[in-house]
Chain A
Amino acid sequence: MSSTDTAAPLTKDGSADSASVEAGLDALETVQAQRTPVSAVLRQKVLPPVLGVVLVLAVWQIAYSLDLTTPDKLPSPADVWHSLTELWYEGTLFSIIWTSVWRGLSGFALSVVIGTPIGLVVARIKPVRAALGPVLSGLQSLPSVAWVPAAIIWLGITNSAMYAVILLGAVPSIANGLISGIDQVPPIYLRAGQTLGATGLRGARHILLPAALPGYLAGLKQGWAFSWRSLMAAELIAASPDLGLGLGRYLENQREFSNMSGVLLGILLILFVGVAIDLLVFSPLERRVLRSRGLLVHSR
């Protein structure tokens, strides 16, 4: 071993020198994340779906004008618009939508409250997972409309039956979303958390749950879709004055009157609400989470 360092001249200001090299490297290697301007967002994100809707309307109008079938089977877009304005002037449009949306959202919220702890327990406790994991995945592939007859026998034609159907549809998909979110957490985060002293409940709160958030959000999004679908199925099947007039019931009423433009309006409103909640609530939430983690930088 040599005892003298031949590169000695450097030692005096070596530290200052390396600081400036470091600052240079930092400047060279920092990526500037740039936000896309509003006009580009409008052009790339808003315009295509608007064009798509216009195209569908055009095809519809052409099919109507060509008299492919009778107007009582295929009304024109204007007829459906007329049904909409009718509801608007009767003042029932918003109450119909709100009845269903309120039921759907509150049922969904309840599903989150129930599904989250179930997902957490199944994901983290091995014997529970072995027992309940397959049941949850199985339930997820069961169309929840299959629960409607059972719910009606158990609970009668009541609001509780509606909520039961929503829960049976949404809870498994929320729980499964959380489970797969937890499964995808890179083990390095858990080890890092452990060395920092985040174990047990503190580990779940500070490391596990935030790390699993993207998968959990995907599960919530799917859970909402399931809630909405199950609710519409339940409203279509179960008729009772106690239930109030929701979108599913409105749709079924229009069928009973053989009012095709009303039926189409019902379908469009159900579609509209489902998409609107997704676009207004879940997509922005998901994008925000993914962007803040750098998972959405080049996805255009």
Chain B
Amino acid sequence: MSSVIQSSIIKKFAMALSGLFLIVFLLQHFIINITSVFSEEIFNQFSHFMGTNFVVQFIAQPILIFGVIFHFVMGFVLDLKNRGSRNVKYVKYKGSSNASWMSRNMIISGLVVLSFLGLHFYDFWIPEMKYKYVEFLPDDPNRYYTELTHKFEDLTKVVIYVVSFGFLSLHLLHGFSSSFQSMGVNNKYSPIIKIVTTIYSIGIPFGFSFIAIFHYLNH
């Protein structure tokens, strides 16, 4: 088993899998959130379901949290190893001539997204956990929309969110299609994967930003 974890290719494979899992989660998160723009009622319904369903709460949620933690811990492990593979650095290194900024700086975009996650958890997840599992407050199926809009009244927060979504976009632009390469998929469909990556990586963070700005403007 230890040989499995030590293998560079397996590490990359695990990184790709957890990344793709998070991408799927992100899509689902987005679909629920975007309903808040159209209908308070639908948003509340979805949120209530997600917040109270046993499978979501006690099976999917721990997996998700594990996925997030695994992805960033492994990200750090790989990055440290990679940085340590060249102890004497080049005096002149022209990285931009042969690789995109995104692909070279996943650790930076990742760190921004990670800090954002901290803020995001502080904003939503921790209060939510407290509400349900610490203070055992009564179930209120209609509280979600108000809580959401309430958070986006502060301009600074909206700006932080939008900037973070920008970095998320950069992270995804490389990470999404790259995960297929790590899993061994590089064939005639790869151009399609690239297109899907671009659409997804720009579209989803843009959509999240839109939701934040929308609620800021409409509070």
Partners in one complex: no
Q: Which residues of B contact A (CB under 8 A)?
A: none
Q: Which residues of A contact B (CB under 8 A)?
A: none
